[in-house]
Structure 1
Amino acid sequence: MGYLGKSEKPTFAEDVAVAIRAVGTSNFMPELLNLMRGAASFKGAFVSLLNAGKAPEHVYDNVRAERRSVVVDRWLDRAWLLDPFVVRFIGERHEPVMVLRDVAPDRFANSDYFRIYYKTLFLKDEIGVFVTIANGTLFLSLGPSEGATRFTRRDVKKLTELHPIISALCEQHFHRSPSSGQLEKSEVDFDGVIDKVCKGLTQREIEVVQFLLRGHSTRSIALLLGVSPATIKVHRKNIYRKLGISSQSALFSVFLHSTND
């Protein structure tokens, strides 16, 4: 077999071979992502380790330094509770590969979470890949390449076809490198986080808060809770009054900036 010329693109088999050789090394995640780019074109990548009842652990990211405080630090602190992909994971309703429109609530594009994590960062779409390993589930959050608008069903199909190879590589790498993240795992009571933020609210009001923050409309919340939209509007009015706020943006701010004490 001849050697590749400088202008020739590596074949799929050669990309797989490079990823295999990177198992157990610090180059593994970049080489794995390079292999995945053969199935779907993407640029940004943020990888975390998920476990039920625990906060995510940081595994890898290629986020620029000036964006880390918003994209990585704030997400790991608390905002992950509103991430539609993580919500699907918590509810055990995720597929191996999912695109944003598959997981987002009906008013997600109008939510403050979307404003901060998508519009502010000019992130037009997101694709999530879930990989189960021995000590949890890897969540690979991928953003489209510059100039791209949306991920396509072909992207989902190609990444799904590649998923068994992705899984096998991750299983081998993290078996050899069990300490995947730099953050200490902490126990998290999902409902308890919002309980602390929303002191003085009833349990039903807290449920409404959760849905509001995650981007559900009044009608959607009513359907999920089995009540009328008018009832949800009353709950919403009472929530704002009890918390001393007047908008959903203020509610989002309370959620992000309240202390953990």
Structure 2
Amino acid sequence: MAFNASAAKAIDRCDRSDAPYLLLDAINHVVPFKFAMSVVYRRDAAPVYVADTFPDRTGKRALELYIEGTYLLNPVYNAYLGGLKAGVYRLRDLAPDAYFSSDHYRQFKVQQQADEELGYRTYGWPAGMEEVVIAIELPKNELAEISFYRRVSLGGFSDTDCDTLCAIEPLVSAIYRRIWQHCGKDSKSEARWTSFDALLGDFGKGQLSPRECNVAHMILKGHSSESISRNLGISVTTVKTHRQNLYAKLGLSTQQELFSLFLMSLQKQRETALVGSGQAPSQAESG
């Protein structure tokens, strides 16, 4: 069986740079995909790039933009911060109910797209794709994502495809962990900077009440008033009152302004981390 042969090669070459691609090739034999990519998430730093099969520079640049910042909006990353376990997931099933507000995504180099399953994509990301993810738990509380893409117009991924991925997930995860033991050591060290949740923890402190901070943080994560109500155990009316109060205290009038203010805090945090690590932010970053 072609899957077994490619998986065996990935095991034999787990200390080589082509190992992640051999693993992707093995999976492609049983659940064919158009594109695939893999990164590893860490709580106190940007993701680590592992592999991708995007065919051109445009797609690869989109992946760079993702790692530079738009991952903060990604359902997989936010599910990881919330304790996502190993398994197979459709991307759309991981997102909060109001995750794809246009106010959020204009700010993070993303495009609103009505025909995307999530309503947006990073600039340059292949269009019209459905995404299925294998999440792999790693040591040190890290999480690997292998994402597979198929065109929605061609039917995307069937339930049978997802069942097949579930069946091979334990073996795929075991191989990936062996590969990560080697490529994780070789990955370039990057400026370590405060994670999304940690930065959220500081956002609004000293200006907002603890409950207003909670509401602000959930708005930024993409929750609707109804979702905030359910999660915090308060009425929708109370949520709206907290929203009005926090906007007034921060001198804001819209959700877009709230998100822009948060982005300014995020940028300052990153620049501080870069300076502390001896790296000067580029003109694009500082401008």
Measured at CA, do residues 128 and 185 of structure 1 come closer, stay the same or move farther in structure 2, by a change above 3 Å? farther
Does 2:210 match 1:203?
Answer: yes
CA distance in 2, matches of 1:31, 1:100: 24
Counterparts of 2:182 and 2:257 in 1: how far apart (Å)?
45
Write the letter of the residue equivalent to 2:216.
V
- CA–CA distance in structure 2, aligned partners of residues 142 and 133 of structure 1: 20
TM-score normalised by the chain length of structure 2: 0.72
Q: Note the C-alpha offset of 1:123.
A: 5.0
Deviations 1:215-245 (A, max 9, x none): 2211111111111111111222233333343
Q: What's the secondary structure of 1:158's corresponding residue? A: helix
Specify whether residues 161 and 20 from structure 1 end up closer, same or farther in structure 2 by C-alpha distance, changes over 3 A only: same
Structure 1: unaligned runs, 5 residues or longer: 1-9
SS where residue 216 of structure 1 aligns? coil
The residue number in structure 2 matching 1:24 is 15
Q: Secondary structure at the match of 1:86?
A: helix
Partners of 2:155 and 2:261 lie apart in 1 by 32
Alpha-carbon separation, structure 2, partners of 1:215 and 1:16: 38
Aligned twin of 2:249: 242
User: RCO greater where, 1 or 2, for CA within 8 Å and sep 6 or more?
Assistant: 1
* CA offset digits 1:63-111 (Å, max 9, x no partner): 55345565433x4345434322222222224341111232111222445
Q: Which moved more, 1:95-104 or 1:138-147?
A: 138-147
Q: Partners in 2 of 1:12 and 1:191 — Cα distance? A: 39
Q: Deviations over 1:31-69 (max 9, x none)?
A: 211222234333343322224455433333345534556
TM superposition shift of 1:187: 5.6
Change (3 A) 1:65 1:17: same
In the alignment, structure 2 segments of 5+ residues that lack a partner are: 112-117, 273-287
Residues 2-35 of structure 1, C-alpha deviation per residue, up to 9 Å, x if partnerless?
xxxxxxxx83333324433442211122221122
Q: 1:132 aligns with which of 137, 153, 157?
A: 137
Number of the residue aligned with 1:141? 147
Count of residue correspondences: 251
Match of 2:268 in 1: 259
Supply the distance in 1 between the matched residues of 2:103 and 2:12 (Cα, whole angstroms).
42
TM-score, normalising length from structure 1? 0.78
